[in-house]
Structure 1
């Protein structure tokens, strides 16, 4: 992709919002989709969709990810319960991992405000994640070896009477789909 079209392609690709992540198999049964993912074209690790894949890390709720934290995402289909299981697992950045969280920001809306819509939320998230990228990595996004993704509130989590999630979590991953083996912080890659 040419350097001049990459930011536009990122914006367009980010308009497709993917399904949510949850923290553990126990919480999966209790929790509806918590967040939607934007601009994530990396494949979720899947060997045989009906067999739980091997994975490393400590399961956590994606809402609990913090800046500089590395993580893996795995997914499989539980044929007994007829549902997809998705797990986000924190892992040390010096271990092979899929992604690293590099920025978080709250969408500016008071409690009780209506969801602004997927398009506006995705555009806002894309812009904020793009703006924060260079300060974390030490390289302009268009010249880097990383892609940008993010988790953002869905209408359900945004308007939930108790949760009222406004947080957008920006993360990066290798643009070739390879595992990362160190933190991307100031690598200038």
Structure 2
């Protein structure tokens, strides 16, 4: 039986490679350079906070403080204890950036309601962000080159004194290229 599993795995791998090679990927020449910028290669190891200070662009901000229309970058690094951490910077939309906030929705759970769980919050947020996509971009999600991301409240935020229910919907390139323009009404 192990050899049958290996054959199935080899067939699945071959199909995946063949599918990946067929269409779908756009060449660098077909991507409009006034909208997209190829990202620089990521290092194998996360940089330290000290290394990152010389490389980040924009104004350091809390992810929950980003407003609709704000373009931003997120940097991952190792903190002083060698634990993964993240830094968010707000940046002008004409500078290369990872993403842009296009909607902010507030979960309809009343204050004091128990945290429904990460999956429930994500599912609700995904539905709300999907509905806000076309009005901002000017094209239905299924035809767009952009994808949807979310900044959602944690259990601590949800159950804290302020009952944080805010979900920030943001756009990013499906191929993980950097954007270098405001994507509102871009129809892409």
CA distance in 2, matches of 1:153, 1:76: 22
Q: How many residues align?
A: 144
Change (3 A) 1:57 1:126: same
CA distance in 1, matches of 2:111, 2:103: 22
Give the alignment of 1:37-186 within 5 angstroms.
Answer: 46-47=42-43, 48-51=45-48, 52-53=51-52, 54-78=55-79, 80-160=80-160, 162-186=161-185
Deviations 1:79-114 (A, max 9, x none): x42322310000000110000000001001222110
Q: Which has the larger radius of gyration?
A: 2
Deviations 1:19-59 (A, max 9, x none): xxxxxxxxxxxxxxxxxxxxxxxx9x842314333110100
- 3-state secondary structure, aligned to 2:151: strand
Scaled by the length of structure 1, the TM-score of the pair is 0.72
Scaled by the length of structure 2, the TM-score of the pair is 0.72
> What stretches of structure 1 of length at least 5 have no aligned partner?
1-42
Deviations 1:118-170 (A, max 9, x none): 2221110000000000000000100001010001112121011x232100000
Structure with greater helix share of residues? 2
> What stretches of structure 2 of length at least 5 have no aligned partner?
1-38
